[in-house]
Structure formats: structure tokens, C-alpha cells
């Protein structure tokens, strides 16, 4: 989610109000979950996967509604900046798992580019 917020100028709310951006976020989330499961790491709790069983319009609405509290944007945006190295490391790890399992990572790779390696 932090990468998608950064992709939208550092604003989770901006991302959540654009259906195409929410679809991109959901695709990246699906890639991440698929990479974990394909590598033998279960998604826990399993209820996290329920989002993908909902109709597309409800998935988008759920992300939008989750962004409504005023503090959510603040927390995600600050986290995305403060933990940039850890977020980059998470993307690297997920992509490595996905490559080993032979799964798609187009969205994750796109988001990883938003967090360049620091020297």
C-alpha cells in the first residue's frame, strides 16, 4: 500500500479515489500473496484473501472506505517515507520469492522502482 501511495504523490487518499490505481494496488497485492503462497509461506490470516473473492466494484469500494479516516493517510504517508529502505527490501524479497516460484511480478517490480537503493 505504501508503494501505491507513493505512486500517487505520497497520498493514500489520492490512490483510493482513482479506480484504476486501486485496481493496480489490488493486482500488486495479489502478486505479493501469490508469491508468498507459491514459495510455501502461507498468507495469515487466511481471511486476508477474502478481498479477491469479492466483486471488483466492492474491492474498489473497500479500499476507498478504508482510506476515509483522516489519520490513515497521515500514517501510511509517514510510514512510506520513514521506512523506505525496509519497503524496498520487502519488494526485493517478494520479487525474489516470485521469481523462484515462477510467478508474475509486473506490478511489484513497478512499485519497487519507486524505492531506489540507497548508498
Looking at the domain assignment, is residue 117 inside a domain? no
Looking at the domain assignment, is residue 119 inside a domain? no
How many separate domains does the chain show? Answer: 1
Rg (CA), the chain: 14
Looking at the domain assignment, is residue 118 inside a domain? no
pLDDT cut 70: percent of the chain above it: 98
Q: What is the predicted pLDDT for the residue at 119?
A: 62
Looking at the domain assignment, is residue 19 inside a domain? yes
Smallest Cα–Cα separation from 27: which of 88, 81, 85, 106? 106
Contact between 47 and 106 (Cβ < 8 Å): no
At 37-62, the pLDDT tens digits run 888 888 888 888 888 889 999 999 99
Range of the domain at 13: 2-112
> Considering the entire predicted model, what is its pTM?
0.86
Amino acid at each position: 500500500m505504501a508503494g501505491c501511495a507513493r505512486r500517487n504523490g505520497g497520498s493514500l487518499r489520492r490512490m483510493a479515489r482513482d479506480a484504476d490505481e486501486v485496481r493496480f494496488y489490488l493486482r500488486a497485492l495479489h502478486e505479493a500473496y501469490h508469491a508468498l503462497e507459491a514459495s510455501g509461506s502461507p498468507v495469515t490470516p487466511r481471511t486476508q484473501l477474502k478481498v479477491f473473492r469479492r466483486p471488483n466494484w466492492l474491492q474498489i469500494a473497500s479500499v476507498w472506505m478504508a482510506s476515509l479516516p483522516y489519520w490513515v493517510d497521515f500514517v501510511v504517508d509517514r510510514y512510506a517515507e520513514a521506512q523506505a529502505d525496509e519497503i524496498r527490501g520487502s519488494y526485493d524479497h517478494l520479487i525474489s520469492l516470485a521469481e523462484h516460484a515462477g510467478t508474475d511480478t509486473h506490478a511489484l517490480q513497478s512499485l519497487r522502482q519507486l524505492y531506489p537503493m540507497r548508498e
